[in-house]
């Protein structure tokens, strides 16, 4: 890990889910079943698309993404394009992924919609998906000149597309269906 990252963060056992947000250690409880199922489904579709086209790499949490000495996050899913593979190190990701997916949980929803949205924009994450398992919706945001702009919110019966992953499409019902 980057030597500039806080010593407290470096001493956290690998089996604990924590993030460093604005220099403060934030523990995150294990995700619930709906969160895990959604992560697996989305990850499967993203991985299949990205690998079949040689576009880059998909990672699941708990992959450390070092955005600064004060901010180390563990997004639920992330994509790094082949063109930006230099930010991948043996220990972590050093810089902003091309795409980040956060699946809302009761304990993280406020932080994912607020602090982390602003943090990802500040560090140049091009595309950010906010996934609401309760509502069965995925909001796709794209980084613009003034922060993130909502591209669309996709729900039941919709086909999600990604500005960053040209040609990617996904039936939302495949993610939230039982």
Tens digit of pLDDT per residue, the chain (178 long)? 455 555 455 555 455 567 888 888 888 777 888 999 999 999 999 999 999 999 999 999 889 999 999 999 999 999 999 999 999 999 999 999 999 999 998 888 999 999 999 999 999 999 999 999 999 999 999 999 999 999 999 999 999 999 999 999 999 999 997 5
Domain 7-176: CATH architecture, name and number where available: Alpha-Beta Complex (3.90)
Nearest-10 Cα torsion for 118, 71, 60, 155: -10
Please give the Cα distance from 58 to 76 (Å, whole number). Answer: 11
Q: Are 19 and 72 in contact (CB under 8 A)?
A: yes
How many beta carbons lie within 10 A of that of residue 177, not counting itself? 10
Helix or strand holding residue 18 (H, E):
strand 18-21
3-class state of residue 168 by DSSP: coil
């Amino acid at each position: 890990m980057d030597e500039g990252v806080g010593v407290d963060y470096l001493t956290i056992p690998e089996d604990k889910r924590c993030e460093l947000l604005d220099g403060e250690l934030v523990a995150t409880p294990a995700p619930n079943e709906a969160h895990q199922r959604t992560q697996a489904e989305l990850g499967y579709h993203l991985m299949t698309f990205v690998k079949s086209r040689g576009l880059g790499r998909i990672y699941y949490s708990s992959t450390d993404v070092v955005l600064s000495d004060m901010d180390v996050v563990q997004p639920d899913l992330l994509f790094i394009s082949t063109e930006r593979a230099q930010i991948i190190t043996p220990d972590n990701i050093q810089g902003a992924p091309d795409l980040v997916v956060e699946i809302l949980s009761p304990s993280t929803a406020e932080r994912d919609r607020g602090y982390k949205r602003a943090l990802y924009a500040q560090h140049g994450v091009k595309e950010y998906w906010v996934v609401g398992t309760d509502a069965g919706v995925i909001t796709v945001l794209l980084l613009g000149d003034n922060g993130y702009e909502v591209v669309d919110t996709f729900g039941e019966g919709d086909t999600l597309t990604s500005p960053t992953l040209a040609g990617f499409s996904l039936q939302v019902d495949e993610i939230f269906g039982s």
